[in-house]
């Protein structure tokens, strides 16, 4: 996605992300109707299968991935996310009386926000750890024989070295 934004701009990224939002909208309404007719666990299993399919598509992305593949992956991801919220909320509210519904809703939203925050923190930890590993790998394999590296290069020469290597700033 970052490559698409860098190469094409924000409008192209919006064209990719908009179908995901539209595909998320439809299953939200369908999930409520389906949960009244089908066991919510069945819907969650279906959601997990769709999510696994979209994750496998996203794992294959590279700089040559075409627009249709990206849109298909984002749409399937949107469908799977749309099906997850209603079946997960049903067990939370089924045995609660109306006078306790406000507290239940507040507690459910608090727990959902905490889970989201923990998830973001864990993912960012993995990303920064992976970046550190790759940076160390690059440093370990950099020698004075590499193109663009010279022993007299100071901190001020980094921009000019980048211009020599890539021909742009």
pLDDT averages per 10-residue partition of the chain, 169 residues: 55 80 86 87 90 92 85 91 84 86 91 93 94 87 70 53 54
The runs of H, that is alpha helices, within the chain are 2-8, 10-37, 40-59, 67-93, 101-140, 158-166
* Tokens (6 digits) for 62: 């590279």
What pLDDT was estimated at residue 150? 61
- The Cα 47–Cα 28 span in angstroms is 12
Which pTM does this prediction carry?
0.61
Nearest to 65 by CA among 108, 3, 150: 3
The answer to whether 80 and 58 have CB atoms below 8 angstroms apart is no
- The Cα 99–Cα 92 span in angstroms is 15
What pLDDT was estimated at residue 11? 72
- The Cα 49–Cα 55 span in angstroms is 10
């Amino acid at each position: 996605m970052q490559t698409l934004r860098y190469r094409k701009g924000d409008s192209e990224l919006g064209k990719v992300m908009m179908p995901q939002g539209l595909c998320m909208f439809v299953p939200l309404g369908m999930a409520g109707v389906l949960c009244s007719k089908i066991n919510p666990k069945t819907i969650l299993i279906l959601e997990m299968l769709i999510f696994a399919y979209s994750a496998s598509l996203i794992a294959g992305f590279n700089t040559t991935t075409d627009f249709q593949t990206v849109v298909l992956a984002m749409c399937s991801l949107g469908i799977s996310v749309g099906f997850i919220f209603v079946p997960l909320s049903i067990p939370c509210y089924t045995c609660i009386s109306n006078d306790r519904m406000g507290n239940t809703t507040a507690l459910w939203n608090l727990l959902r926000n905490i889970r989201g925050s923990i998830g973001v923190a864990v993912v960012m930890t993995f990303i920064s750890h992976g970046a550190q590993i790759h940076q160390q790998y690059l440093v370990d394999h950099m020698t004075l024989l590499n193109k663009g590296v010279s022993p007299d290069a100071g901190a001020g020469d980094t921009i000019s070295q980048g211009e020599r290597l890539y021909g742009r700033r």
